[in-house]
C-alpha cells in the first residue's frame, strides 16, 4: 500500500513539474497594460448620443455604453481650450497657463503623452490641439491635426479648383503632419476632418500592430463644432426629422432619458430657453430643420468613424484589452459666427452655427450652453468601455468627476509614475482623482471641491452643493445637485451659511490659482 502511495505521489509531482514547465512566461507589458483610446468630441451636447437620450444614430457609441459605463455627473470646463489643457495635464487650466488664452506653451505640467511614454506606451495624437505647441515636443510619437481652434471641415486651406472659396475664420490655421508645419493646410478634394483624423489613426494602429508596446491614441475630433458641414448622404438621413420643432425633440429626449434611467419621474427639468416653433415662418422652420440635420449628420459621421476604430481593434484582436474613453470638451454651443458664405448650409462654401435654440435642446435636461458654468456648459457625457477591465457592463455611474481626473485614471491603469520633475523643471502635483475604482462598480467620493472659472462665469461644487454665478457682479446661486441636478431651484436665500462657506473656499482657490 505504501509502495503504491509512493508511486502516486511521484506521478503527481512529475505531472505538476510538467505542467509548470509548460506554463507561459509571465505576461509582458503589452499584456499587463491596456491599449488606451481617448476620444474627444467638440461642442457636443449632453443628450445628443442615443445612449444619453438622443435621436441621432450613434450605434457604435451606444454599443460602447452597453459594454461599459455611462457617467451622469462628469464635467469639463465649459470652453474648448481650458478643457483640453485640463484633460492633457490633470490640472486646472489656470495652473498651466490656459485660463484665458491658448497662445502659451503648457507650463508646470507633464502631458498624457509624456506620462504614458514614460510607462512604455507608443503615443499617438490625431485631431485638434487648440494650443501652440507641436505635440511631438510634448511626449507624442506621432501627430496629425489642427493646432488651432475651429476650421473648415472640408477644406481648412486655400480655395481648390472647381469649388467655392472655403468659408473660414482664418485661412492660415496651423496644421502639423508630424514635424511638418502647414500654414495654410490645403488637402485634396474628398477631405473631411472627421474622416481624415480617423484615417490617420487607423494607419498608425495598423502600422504598429506587431510592436511590443501598448499604444495610447488621443483622437480629438473637431465635430460637431461649427461650421456645420457634413456629407450629403449623412444630411439626407435627418432632413425633415426636425420639422416638429424644438419642444417636440426636447420632450422626446426627456422621455428617453427617463426610460434609460438617466432621469427619474421626480426629476424637475430646467425651463427651456428656445423660441416657440410656431412663431417661426415656414422658411425659418425649413432652415432650422436643415441646421439641426447637418449638426446631427456630423455626429452620425463621427460615430461611423469610431465604429471604424472599433472594427480595426477587433480585427487585430486588441479590442478586449483596450480602454476606450469618450467625452465632450464642453456643452453644445449657442455661439453664432456670422461668416456665412456663398453656398448652402452644410457645404464647403458656407459657415453656419447651431445657435442657442437647438443648443438648448442639445443640452437637455440642463440649462444654458457652452461658456456657462451651469451644467449645460460644463456637463459632459462620458462613456468608458474596457471588456477586460470593467466588471459589470451597461451600468450608469453617478460619481462626480472632472477632466482633471483623466490623467490619474490613465496613470493607474497604465502603471505609470508621476514625476516631481520633468526635463529638469518642477511639475505641479496633479489635482484630479482616479475614477478607475468605478470600473469595479464603486462610486467615487471626493475629498476636495471642484472649481470652475471661465469668462464671467464661476462655480464650485463640494459634495452635493454647487454655487454658480454668471456675470461680473452677479451673486452666487446655490443648488443641491443630488436633489436638483438640473439647477431649477436656487437655495441661496435660505442657506446663506452654506453660500458663505463655499464662497470662502472659492476665494482661497482663486487667489492661489491666479498666481501660477
Residues annotated as catalytic (active site), given as ranges: 80, 130
Q: Which class for 468: exposed (0-12), middle (13-18), buried (19 or more C-beta within 10 A)? A: buried
Number of neighbours of residue 182 by Cβ within 10 angstroms: 16
> Per DSSP, which regions of 221-268 are E strands?
none
Angstrom CA distances, 100 to 10, 182, 290, stand at 75, 26, 34
Integer distance in angstroms from the first to the last C-alpha of the chain? 81
In which element (H, E) is residue 413 found? helix 406-414
H/E stretch holding 65: helix 59-66
Please say whether the beta carbons of 246 and 358 come within 8 A: yes
- Distances from the Cα of 252 to the Cα of 41, 367, 452, angstroms: 23, 17, 31
CA-CA distance, 475 to 462, in Å (whole number)? 18
Q: Are 89 and 407 in contact (CB under 8 A)?
A: yes
Of 364, 382, 384, 330, the residue nearest 256 (C-alpha): 364
What's the rounded Cα separation, in Å, for the pair 281 and 287?
Answer: 10
Cell digits of residue 364: 437637455
Residues counted in the chain: 516
User: Which positions ≥6 away from 366 have C-beta within 8 Å?
Assistant: 46, 270, 331, 374, 375, 376, 379, 486, 487
- Beta-sheet pairing, 340-341 with 395-402: unpaired
**Cell output for 188:** 485634396
Q: Count the alpha carbons within 13 Å of 231 in the hemisphere toward its beta carbon.
A: 14
Q: Which residues contact 418 (CB under 8 A, 6 or more apart)?
A: 110, 115, 408, 411, 427, 429, 430
Residue 264 grid cell = 427619474
Sequence-distant (6+) residues with CB within 8 A of 406 are 38, 87, 90, 112, 325, 432
- CA 114 – CA 123 distance, rounded (Å): 8
Please give the backbone phi and psi of residue 459, each rounded to the nearest 5 degrees, phi first.
Answer: -160, 160
Give the residue from 329, 411, 423 showing the smallest Cα distance to 108: 423
Q: Can you tell me which residue has the cell 494607419?
A: 203
Whether the Cβ atoms of residue 173 and residue 203 lie closer than 8 Å to each other: no
Distance, in Å, from the CA atom of 367 to the CA atom of 375, rounded to the nearest integer, reads 7
Amino acid at each position: 500500500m505504501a509502495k503504491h502511495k509512493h508511486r502516486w505521489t511521484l506521478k503527481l509531482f512529475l505531472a505538476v513539474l510538467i505542467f509548470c514547465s509548460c506554463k507561459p512566461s509571465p505576461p509582458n507589458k503589452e499584456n499587463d497594460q491596456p491599449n488606451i483610446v481617448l476620444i474627444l468630441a467638440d461642442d457636443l451636447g449632453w443628450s445628443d448620443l442615443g445612449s444619453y437620450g438622443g435621436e441621432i444614430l450613434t450605434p457604435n457609441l451606444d454599443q460602447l455604453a452597453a459594454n461599459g459605463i455611462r457617467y451622469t455627473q462628469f464635467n469639463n470646463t465649459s470652453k474648448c481650450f481650458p478643457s483640453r489643457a485640463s484633460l492633457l495635464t490633470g490640472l486646472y487650466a489656470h495652473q498651466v497657463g490656459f485660463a484665458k488664452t491658448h497662445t502659451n506653451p503648457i507650463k508646470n505640467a507633464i502631458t498624457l503623452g509624456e506620462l504614458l511614454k514614460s510607462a512604455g506606451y507608443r503615443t499617438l495624437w490625431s485631431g485638434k490641439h487648440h494650443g501652440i505647441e507641436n505635440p511631438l515636443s510634448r511626449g507624442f510619437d506621432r501627430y496629425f491635426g489642427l493646432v488651432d481652434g475651429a476650421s473648415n471641415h472640408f477644406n481648412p486651406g486655400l480655395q481648390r479648383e472647381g469649388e467655392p472659396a472655403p468659408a473660414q475664420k482664418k485661412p492660415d490655421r496651423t496644421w502639423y503632419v508630424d514635424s511638418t508645419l502647414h500654414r495654410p493646410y490645403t488637402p485634396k478634394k474628398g477631405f473631411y476632418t472627421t474622416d481624415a483624423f480617423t484615417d490617420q489613426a487607423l494607419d498608425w494602429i495598423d502600422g504598429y500592430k506587431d510592436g511590443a508596446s501598448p499604444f495610447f491614441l488621443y483622437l480629438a475630433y473637431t465635430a460637431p463644432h461649427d461650421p456645420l458641414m457634413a456629407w450629403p448622404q449623412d444630411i439626407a438621413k435627418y432632413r425633415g426629422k426636425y420639422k416638429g420643432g424644438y419642444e417636440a425633440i426636447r420632450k422626446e429626449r426627456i422621455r428617453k432619458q427617463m426610460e434609460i434611467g438617466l432621469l427619474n419621474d421626480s426629476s424637475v427639468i430646467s425651463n427651456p430657453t428656445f423660441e416657440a416653433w410656431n412663431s417661426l415662418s415656414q422658411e425659418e422652420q425649413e432652415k432650422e430643420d436643415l441646421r439641426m440635420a447637418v449638426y446631427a449628420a456630423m455626429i452620425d459621421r463621427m460615430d461611423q468613424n469610431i465604429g471604424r476604430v472599433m472594427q480595426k481593434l477587433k480585427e487585430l484582436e486588441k479590442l478586449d484589452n483596450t480602454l476606450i474613453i469618450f467625452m465632450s470638451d464642453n456643452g453644445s454651443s449657442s455661439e453664432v459666427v456670422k461668416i456665412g458664405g456663398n453656398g448652402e448650409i452644410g457645404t464647403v462654401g458656407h459657415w453656419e452655427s447651431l445657435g442657442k435654440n437647438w443648443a438648448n435642446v442639445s443640452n437637455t435636461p440642463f440649462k444654458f450652453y457652452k461658456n456657462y458654468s451651469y451644467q449645460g456648459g460644463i456637463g459632459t457625457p462620458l462613456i468608458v468601455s474596457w471588456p477586460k477591465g470593467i466588471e459589470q457592463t451597461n451600468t450608469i455611474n453617478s460619481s462626480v468627476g472632472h477632466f482633471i481626473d483623466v490623467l490619474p485614471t490613465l496613470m493607474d491603469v497604465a502603471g505609470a509614475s508621476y514625476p516631481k520633475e520633468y526635463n529638469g523643471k518642477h511639475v505641479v502635483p496633479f489635482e484630479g482623482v482616479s475614477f478607475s475604482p468605478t470600473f469595479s462598480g464603486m462610486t467615487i467620493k471626493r475629498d476636495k471641491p471642484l472649481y470652475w472659472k471661465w469668462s464671467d462665469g464661476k462655480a464650485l461644487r463640494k459634495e452635493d452643493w454647487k454655487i454658480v454665478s454668471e456675470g461680473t457682479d452677479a451673486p452666487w446661486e446655490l443648488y443641491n445637485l443630488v436633489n436638483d441636478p438640473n439647477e431649477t431651484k436656487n437655495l441661496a436665500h435660505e442657506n446663506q451659511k452654506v453660500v458663505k462657506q463655499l464662497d470662502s473656499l472659492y476665494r482661497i482657490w482663486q487667489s492661489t490659482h491666479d498666481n501660477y
